[in-house]
Structure 1
Amino acid sequence: MYKELLNISKANLTTTRNITQIGSFEIPPSYLQFAQEIGFGRLLGLFLTYIPMGENTPYCDALEHRNAHWKEIFQMYLKEYPDRLFLKKEADNKERLANAEPFLFSENGEVVFWDSRNRDDKGECPIYLVDFSTGIYLAGNTFKEFILNLTDKAKVKSILKFEDDPLLRTFDPLPLKD
């Protein structure tokens, strides 16, 4: 499905196969399909996509390592800056961030995460984007919807506040580094 949705540059894809969890968190099926079909690289010219590689992987760009790193940052942010305006915009933002399962990082500094509290009957979790300077925004309910929303002129501005144009449906595979 994702190979038909995206323009993929010519390079070797680094994908995952049998890993379906990060710790005790079950990866939503739409992202698991993406990780198995497309994998590690730069999505939409902006987001670094990480794939599960196992708990003891030596790769710093494995989803397990990035997820743990961002969770620590989120917890530090909640502890050190609990009165930030964006956390107060919606009553649920603090809880949303406290229960986040981060999985993508943008080259502009935004972090994309699943809200682990709200899994639907298909195993999907809502996907949010946090920009620490402006707020937390619902970006989709599946990974495919996330891509479609960011590549839609009418929807992109509601998620990426500083983008005037939709992102391009591109994927550039990247090599993994230790």
Structure 2
Amino acid sequence: MLTDFSSIRVQGDPTLAHIDLDLLDTYRFADGAAFPASYREFVRSLGWGRLFGLWLVYPPALEGYADGWQARSRILTERLRETYRDGQAEEFDWMIEPDGDWSLADSLQVFAISENGDVMLWDTAVRDERGEFSVYCSQKMNSLRLLGPSLDVATRVLRSEAAELFGDGEFDFEPLAAQRLS
């Protein structure tokens, strides 16, 4: 099943040269299945950049490049899980509102971050009939709000929210230059 990100208005040309397309196609989660089709299509269509002036969706990056899914997702996911373990121990039930529960914490995987510190997460414990993971948003790692059953649906929700907050801009996606690790 192919998703469609053709309605995303890109400012210039997508930044793709540093993306590890082999890893995009061959990576397997604990369930043995690949990245969701919506994510693969997003990365192939848009590459690395800023979505709706705010969101950075981490693509698999070739060795030697910063902001790749391999490192950023792992680090942010570890931080998220630690935060949620502490929150559960302290009985901070507001951290899982409005759409989550404590059982999600161990299966959540960060794949995007906003410039204000919110994160987008997959629930990697369950796939739908299309092989997609549900997408959640966590504001400052202190809430769990379901954005949709896939990245393409979540993107439509984020577009609507961005238009409410900032108006309808000329572009939805700003490609960013790939940065080499120092």
- More displaced, 81-90 or 45-54? 81-90
Distance change >3 Å, CA 89–CA 105, structure 1 → 2: closer
Which amino acid letter does the alignment assign opposite residue 73 of structure 2? N
User: 2:168 and 2:147 mapped to 1: Cα distance?
Assistant: 13
Q: How far apart are the structure 2 equivalents of 1:139 and 1:91?
A: 10
Q: Give the 3 Å change call, closer, same or farther, for CA 5–73 of structure 1 in structure 2.
A: same
What is the Cα deviation at residue 53 of structure 1? Answer: 2.6
CA–CA distance in structure 2, aligned partners of residues 101 and 135 of structure 1:
14
Structure 1 residue 100 displacement after superposition: 0.8
Which whole-Å deviations, capped at 9, do the CAs of 1:9-46 have from their partners, x for residues lacking one? 11452255222355635211111111112111101111
Q: Give, in angstroms, the shift of residue 67 of structure 1.
A: 1.1
Which one of the candidate residues 117, 121, 127 is aligned to 1:113? 121
Where structure 1 has 5 or more consecutive residues not aligned to the other structure, the ranges are: none
Q: How far 1:94 sits from its partner (Å)?
A: 2.0
Tell me, what secondary structure is at the counterpart of 1:105? strand
2:75 to 69, 80, 84: 69
2:43 aligned residue: 35
Distance 1:40 1:135, change over 3 A: same
Over the matched positions of the two proteins, sequence identity in percent amounts to 22
Give ranges in structure 2 of 5+ residues lacking alignment: none
Where 1:74 maps in the other structure, the secondary structure is: helix
Distance 2:123 2:21 in 1: 24
Aligned mate of 2:29, from 24, 30, 33: 24
Give me the TM-score of the superposition, normalised by structure 1. Answer: 0.80
Report how many aligned residue pairs link the two structures: 167
Which residue does the alignment assign to 2:57? 49
Q: 1:12 to 1:97 in 2, by over 3 A?
A: same
